[in-house]
Amino acid sequence: MKFFVGQKKRVLAKLNQKTSVSDLFNFTQEERLMVSTLGGILKNIYIEQGKEHMELISDVEYVYTSEAKLLIDKRINFMAETTTNTTSEKIKDELVKSQELNETKQELAERLTKTYDDILLNRAETIARTETHYLLQNATLDASKQNGNENKEWIWTAGVKGGVREDHLHMDGTEIGINEEFRLPSGASGLVPGATGNAADDINCQCTMI
C-alpha cells in the first residue's frame, strides 16, 4: 500500500532530529492523511460495485445515497484510527527496544525500516483486502435494496490461502430478509459477510452475499 511507503519516508526523515514517538510519528497528521488519501479510493470501489451489481439484477440505475456516504465515511475513519494507533504502538515498542540496546541513529533507522517492511509485507495487504471486501459486500446490499429485493443469501468462499472457517461454511446457503443480520454459530452477526465487527470473522473473509 503506497500510503505506508510514504509514511515510512516521513518517519525516517524526522529521525535525525527527533527520538520520541510523538515527534517521529504525528498521530493526528497520519490519521488525517490516511482519510484523505484512501477516502476517494474506497468511495469509488463502493460506487463501482453498486453499479455493477445493479446492472446484473435490474435495468434500474444505481444511486449513490447519503446513507452510503455516511457508511463509507464511518468506515474510513474507523480504519484510519485503528490502523494509525497500531502503527504508533509498534513504533513506540521499537523505540523502547532501540533505547534499551543503546542503538545509534543508523541502527534505529534500520530497525524502523524493517518495521515498515513487515507492515508492507503483511498488514497492508490484509487491510486492503479486508476493507475492500467490506465495501464490496455493503455496496451489493445497497444495490439489492434499491432494486427492491426482499431476501439475501450467504455464499461461502474459501479463505485467502484456501483456509476454511467452519462457522462461515456453516452459513453457506443461509437465506434471510434483506434487512436482517446473518448470525454465525460463534454469536457474531452482521448485515453482510465481513461486517460482523468481530475481527476473527471479518479479517480476510471472502464470503459474499447475493
pLDDT in tens, 6-44: 999 988 888 877 667 778 889 999 999 999 999 999 999
What does the alpha-carbon distance between residue 39 and residue 146 come to, in Å, rounded to a whole number? 23
What does the alpha-carbon distance between residue 128 and residue 10 come to, in Å, rounded to a whole number? 21
What does the alpha-carbon distance between residue 40 and residue 37 come to, in Å, rounded to a whole number? 7
The whole-angstrom distance between residue 160's C-alpha and the CA centroid of its chain comes to: 15
The chain-wide mean pLDDT, for the chain, equals 92
**Average pLDDT, integer, range 105-125:** 90
pLDDT tens, position by position, 43-66: 999 999 999 999 999 999 999 999
Coil, helix or strand at residue 209: strand
Q: Which residues contact 139 (CB under 8 A, 6 or more apart)?
A: 45, 46, 47, 48, 49, 50, 53, 68
**Average pLDDT, integer, range 122-127:** 88
Q: pTM value?
A: 0.89
Domain locations in the chain as residue ranges = 2-149, 150-210
